[in-house]
C-alpha cells in the first residue's frame, strides 16, 4: 500500500548556544512519516531524538537555540518557514505531543479537567460544558476509572501511570493526525510501560494517526514501529522498515544497540555493550561520529562524513561498510561461536 507522508523532514539542523560556543545538536536530519505509520526514533540519551521532535513542534527556546531546515512539510504546510501563529494552531491541534516525565508535565496547581480540555477550548469553538463532557470521554478512553471525579482532581492526587494517561488524553483531545511521543514510558514501571504502549497501539489502530515514537529501547521499537530511524550524535545512522533493520542491520551502531537488548527467549548469552560514550557536542570527531567506538572502523571512516547509502528498499545507512555488514548479516552468523 502506497501511503503519503504526513510529515517530511528535510535537512533539519539545530544549534544551541552554550558556554563552549555554538554546538550542533541535530545535524542534517531527514526522514518521512507516512499517514497512519508508527516511526520509531531510537538512540542513546543525547543523540538528538527529543531535540528533533521539539524542533518540529517549534518548541525549543528561541533565545538559546536556532533551528533551520530545508523543509518540514506537515500536511501540506512548511513548518520550517511557518509563523509562530500558524505553528500555534497546529500544536495541540493536528500535532499532539507526549513527554517523558509525567510527574512534572502537568501543572501542579490546575485541575486535571482544566488542563485536559484546554487544547479543545483553544482550537475549537466549543462551550465549557461540551468540552468537559469530551474530557470525561477522553479519560474513559485512556482507561482512567471514575473520570468525572478525576476531572476535579489535581495532578498530585494521581499516580505516574495515571498522569501519563492524562497526558495521552491531552495529546489526543483534538484528534491529531500526528502524535510525537517522547519516551512516553521511560519514567514508568515496567508493567505500566506495557499497558501504556498497548493503549497507544490500540488508539492508533482506531484513529489511524501517525506516531513518532521516541525511545531508547529496541524492544519497544520491535513491538510497535513500522519504520525505524536510528540517531547517533545528532545525525541519522540508519533508517528503514523495522523488519529490514532487525534482519539486516546496516550500521554497526544499530547492530550494537540490538546486541545490548536482552532476550527472554532463545539462547542465553552475555549482553554485548558498546564501549565508550557519545562524543561531546563541543568536541565531535571528524568523519563518522561513531568511528571512535566502532569495531569495524578503518582509516577511511574519519576522512569525511559518510553518505547515506541505500542498502535495500527504503533502507539506508550512513556507514561506508554498510554493504559488508548487510552481507555478513544475511549469512548464518555465529554458527561456530
Partner 1 sequence: MLAYTLRRIAQAVPILLLVSLISFGIMQLVPGDPAAVLAGPNATPDELIKLRQTLGLDKSLLSQIMIFYGNLFQGDLGYSIILGEPVLKVVLERSPISISLALYSLALTVILGLSIGVIAAMKHNRWIDQAAMTFALIGVSVPNFWLGLVMIVLFSVHLGWLPTGGYVPFFEDPVGWFLAATMPALSLAMMQIGLLARLTRSTMLEVLGQDYIRTARAKGASEPRVIIKHAMSNVLIPVVTVLGMILSVLLSGSVIVETIFAVPGIGALLGNAILGRDYPMIQGGLIFVAAVLLILNIVVDVLYAWLDPRVRVQ
Residues that bind partner 1 (CB under 8 A): 57, 59, 63, 88-93, 96-97, 99, 101, 104-110, 115, 118-119, 122-123, 154, 156, 167, 170
Taking the least distance from each CB to partner 1, the nearer of 84 and 333 is: 84
Q: Taking the complex as a whole, how short is the minimal distance between the CB of residue 190 and partner 1, in angstroms?
A: 23
Q: Taking the complex as a whole, how short is the minimal distance between the CB of residue 96 and partner 1, in angstroms?
A: 8
Q: Taking the complex as a whole, how short is the minimal distance between the CB of residue 59 and partner 1, in angstroms?
A: 6
Annotate 165-225 with three-state secondary structure. HHHHHHHHCCCCCEEEEECCCCCCCHHHHHHHHHHHHHHHHHHCCEEEEEECCHHHHHHHC
Taking the least distance from each CB to partner 1, the nearer of 182 and 244 is: 182
Q: Taking the complex as a whole, how short is the minimal distance between the CB of residue 191 and partner 1, in angstroms?
A: 24
The whole-angstrom separation of Cα 17 and Cα 15 is 7
Q: Taking the complex as a whole, how short is the minimal distance between the CB of residue 87 and partner 1, in angstroms?
A: 8
Taking the least distance from each CB to partner 1, the nearer of 79 and 170 is: 170
Taking the least distance from each CB to partner 1, the nearer of 95 and 278 is: 95
Any alpha helices (H) in the chain, and if so which ranges? 49-57, 84-90, 102-105, 112-123, 128-141, 147-151, 160-172, 190-207, 218-224, 242-247, 252-259, 322-330
Q: Taking the complex as a whole, how short is the minimal distance between the CB of residue 299 and partner 1, in angstroms?
A: 44
The whole-angstrom separation of Cα 78 and Cα 9 is 10
Q: What is the CA radius of gyration of the chain?
A: 21
- 153 within 8 A of 91, measured Cβ to Cβ: no
Taking the least distance from each CB to partner 1, the nearer of 39 and 90 is: 90
Cα separations (Å) of 103 from 38, 85, 207, 213, 234? 25, 29, 27, 20, 27
Taking the least distance from each CB to partner 1, the nearer of 118 and 226 is: 118
The whole-angstrom separation of Cα 308 and Cα 272 is 26
Amino acid at each position: 500500500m502506497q501511503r503519503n507522508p504526513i510529515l517530511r523532514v528535510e535537512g533539519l539542523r539545530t544549534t544551541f548556544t552554550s558556554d563552549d560556543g555554538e554546538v550542533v545538536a541535530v545535524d542534517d536530519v531527514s526522514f518521512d512519516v507516512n499517514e497512519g505509520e508508527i516511526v520509531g526514533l531510537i538512540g542513546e540519551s543525547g543523540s538528538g531524538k527529543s531535540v528533533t521532535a521539539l524542533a518540529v513542534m517549534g518548541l525549543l527556546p528561541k533565545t538559546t537555540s536556532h533551528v533551520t531546515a530545508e523543509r518540514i512539510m506537515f500536511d501540506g504546510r512548511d513548518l520550517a518557514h511557518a509563523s509562530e501563529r500558524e505553528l500555534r494552531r497546529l500544536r495541540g491541534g493536528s500535532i499532539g505531543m507526549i513527554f517523558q516525565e509525567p510527574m512534572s508535565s502537568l501543572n501542579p496547581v490546575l485541575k486535571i479537567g482544566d488542563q485536559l480540555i484546554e487544547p479543545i477550548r483553544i482550537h475549537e469553538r466549543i462551550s465549557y460544558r461540551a468540552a468537559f463532557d469530551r474530557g470525561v470521554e477522553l479519560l474513559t478512553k485512556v482507561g482512567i476509572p471514575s473520570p468525572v471525579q478525576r476531572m476535579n482532581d489535581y495532578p498530585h492526587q494521581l499516580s505516574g501511570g495515571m498522569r501519563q494517561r492524562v497526558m495521552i488524553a491531552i495529546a489526543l483531545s483534538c484528534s491529531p493526525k500526528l502524535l510525537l511521543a517522547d519516551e512516553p514510558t521511560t519514567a514508568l514501571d515496567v508493567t505500566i510501560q506495557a499497558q501504556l504502549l498497548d493503549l497507544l497501539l490500540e488508539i492508533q489502530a482506531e484513529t489511524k494517526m501517525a506516531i513518532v515514537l521516541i525511545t531508547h529501547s529496541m524492544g519497544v521499537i520491535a513491538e510497535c514501529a513500522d519504520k525505524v530511524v536510528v540517531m547517533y550524535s545528532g545525525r541519522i545512522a540508519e533508517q528503514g522498515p523495522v523488519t529490514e533493520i532487525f534482519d539486516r542491520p546496516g550500521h554497526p551502531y544499530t547492530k550494537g544497540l540490538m546486541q545490548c537488548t536482552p532476550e527472554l527467549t532463545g539462547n542465553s548469552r552475555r549482553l554485548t555493550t558498546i564501549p565508550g560514550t557519545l562524543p561531546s557536542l563541543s568536541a565531535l570527531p571528524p568523519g563518522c561520529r561513531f568511528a571512535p567506538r566502532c569495531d569495524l572502523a578503518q582509516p577511511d571512516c574519519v576522512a569525511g562524513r559518510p553518505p547515506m547509502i541505500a542498502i535495500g528498499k527504503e533502507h539506508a545507512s550512513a556507514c561506508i561498510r554498510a554493504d559488508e555488514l548487510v552481507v555478513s548479516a544475511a549469512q548464518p552468523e555465529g554458527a561456530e561461536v
